[in-house]
Amino acid sequence: MNTIEKRTAVSLAAIYAVRMLGLFMILPVFTLYAKNIPDTTPFLIGLTIGIYGLSQAMLQIPLGLLSDKIGRKPVIVGGLLVFAIGSVVAAISTDIGMLILGRAIQGSGAIAAATMALAADLTREQHRAKVMAIIGMTIGISFSVAMIIGPIISQWGGLSAIFWVTTALALIGILLILLVVPNPPTLHSHRDAGIIKGYLLSALRNPTLIRMNIGVFILHLILSANFIVIPTVFRDNLGFNTIEHWKIYLPVLLLSFILSIPLIILAEKYQKIKPLFISSVTLLILAQTVMGFMTNTLLILLVAFLVFFIGFNFLEAVQPSLVAKYASVNNKGTAMGIFSTAQFMGSFMGGSLGGFILTYWGIRGVLFLGAMMATLWLLLAVGLPRPKFYQSIIFKLNKTALENPKQTSLQLSQVTGVKESALSLEEGTAYLKVDKDLFLEEALKPYTQSSSF
């Protein structure tokens, strides 16, 4: 990568990180502080945790499409400003209704799609996947950091301190986007990294992608529901004060991350993704069931918590890869946008449904809800087709190739090893999926600009 691409990757990853930190820090502590807020019920606790996911899900695709029209930076700056306003509302709230409103406003700053599109605008085709991977990694890192520092910040300044820190992080993000992130020379609708309006229907109708969307919905439903009850279990059943919760989260998250890496390598390098995918969903069922039965037994509960996060980390890492494999070359970016929307909707439903279940069936009911939802996911996942491990190639077409796009498209589809091809005349770009064992890069030289490879 060149200097601009490295700067883009680091700065956009930092923006993504500060925003995700702000959303995640509340998870390990809110349930513990909610009893001090007037008129709070278990359902409203869950709604507060999950409501940001509803506004994220509603606005993710519209704001992504808007960024194609008015520019990436205005949408991202506006989203971060809305996020900061929501954080202030939550910080100064005196009742649960105002806190829910603040969380809903936070979620309205849905900048994920615009951020990915900006990354695509600022990177060359052959390096785009690296930049996307760097930005994507920050989600998992942010979650782990938030689990550790959330309890520490809350112990120092209470629940409002978390939201004031979140406000500061949002303002830092705005400074980064204005002062550090380069300005893109042109805006394009990227088929691999952006949402294309004309492909929404085809992506929504794809039965395999529907299964993937339901899967990520369930995964984040379970995660949000768990954090309605897990902090309370740690404090009331196991005797850990709020300030000490980082002593659980740090080793569990670190060890689960270390143990999940070999599984991810095995899945991708040795093409074992489907059996490991099925195994990881099974781990969730096992972990949720054990946690439900053993809420008062420290060692067993911690082992189950670790097993949950091994499965969670693996699934969180490989699901986007699977979506890219199952999506056609034309609608990869659109499929990812819908996938993200399903993820946020799962967070909303997990909080709301978990709070409802807690009201009537208690802590064990919430944990068993996770086991039942994971079982439903397992039944859907078993029917997933075996993914094809094709390599994505994107390159700029030369003038000769663009003069007769129909002929170029036909010729590219006949190149040995090319399994799918699509042209974007607006970008002057070709998108291919190829079998790397059969494909020879030299075959594309008649169609490429000299700097494409």
Residue 253 CA to residue 379 CA, distance in Å, equals 27
pLDDT digits (tens, 9 = 90+) for 239-278: 888 888 888 999 999 999 999 999 999 998 888 999 999 9
Find the mean pLDDT for residues 207-219. 96
Q: Is 272 exposed, middle or buried (0-12, 13-18, 19+ CB in 10 A)?
A: middle
Nearest in space to 388 (alpha carbons), one of 344, 343, 325: 325
Q: For residue 452, name the pLDDT band (cuts at 50, 70, 90).
A: low
> Is residue 337 scored above 70 in pLDDT?
yes
- pLDDT of the residue at 99: 95
Torsion of CA 428, 432, 436, 438, to 10 degrees: -100
Residue 172 CA to residue 166 CA, distance in Å, equals 10
Nearest in space to 331 (alpha carbons), one of 187, 184, 207, 209: 209
Give span(s): CATH 1.20.1250.20, the chain: 1-190, 196-388
Residue 172 CA to residue 181 CA, distance in Å, equals 12
Number of C-beta neighbours around residue 198 at 10 A = 10
> Is residue 60 scored above 60 in pLDDT?
yes
Q: What is the DSSP letter of 315?
A: H
Residue 60 CA to residue 70 CA, distance in Å, equals 16
Residue found under tokens 């070999």: 262
Q: Picking from 77-81, 151-155, 238-242, 383-387, which range would have the lowest pLDDT averaged per residue?
A: 238-242
In the three-class reduction of DSSP (H, G, I as helix; E, B as strand; rest coil), residue 385 is classed as coil
Q: For residue 193, name the pLDDT band (cuts at 50, 70, 90).
A: confident
- 391-444, which class in CATH? alpha beta
Sign of CA dihedral 64, 65, 68, 70: negative
- pLDDT of the residue at 385: 94
The residue among 126 and 48 whose pLDDT is bigger is 48
Distance of CA 215 to the CA centre of its chain: 13
Residue found under tokens 């599109």: 117
Length of the chain: 453
Residue 141 tokens, joined? 């890192």
> Is residue 6 scored above 70 in pLDDT?
yes
In the three-class reduction of DSSP (H, G, I as helix; E, B as strand; rest coil), residue 64 is classed as helix
- pLDDT of the residue at 331: 84
> Is residue 313 scored above 90 in pLDDT?
yes
Residue 418 CA to residue 387 CA, distance in Å, equals 16
Contact yes or no for 347/42 (Cβ under 8 A) = no
Write the DSSP assignment of 231-300 as a string of letters: HHIIIIIT---GGGTHHHHHHHHHHHHHHHHHHHHHHHHTT-HHHHHHHHHHHHHHHHHHHHH-TT-HHH
- pLDDT of the residue at 45: 94
> Per DSSP, what are the bridge partners of residue 56?
none
Q: Is 405 exposed, middle or buried (0-12, 13-18, 19+ CB in 10 A)?
A: middle
Q: Picking from 88-92, 149-153, 192-196, 289-293, which range would have the lowest pLDDT averaged per residue?
A: 192-196
Triad 47, 22, 49: Cα angle to 5°: 10
CATH number for the segment(s) 1-190: 1.20.1250.20
CATH number for the segment(s) 196-388: 1.20.1250.20
The residue among 139 and 225 whose pLDDT is bigger is 225
- Computed over every residue of the chain, the mean pLDDT equals 90
Contact yes or no for 331/238 (Cβ under 8 A) = no
pLDDT digits (tens, 9 = 90+) for 88-144: 999 999 999 999 999 999 999 989 888 888 888 888 777 777 888 888 788 888 888
Triad 326, 331, 334: Cα angle to 5°: 105
Give span(s): CATH 3.30.70.100, the chain: 391-444
Residue found under tokens 């954080």: 87
Find the mean pLDDT for residues 383-408. 88
- Name the H helices within 109-206: 112-121, 128-179, 200-205
> Is residue 179 scored above 80 in pLDDT?
yes
What amino acid occupies position 432? Answer: L
Triad 385, 390, 396: Cα angle to 5°: 135
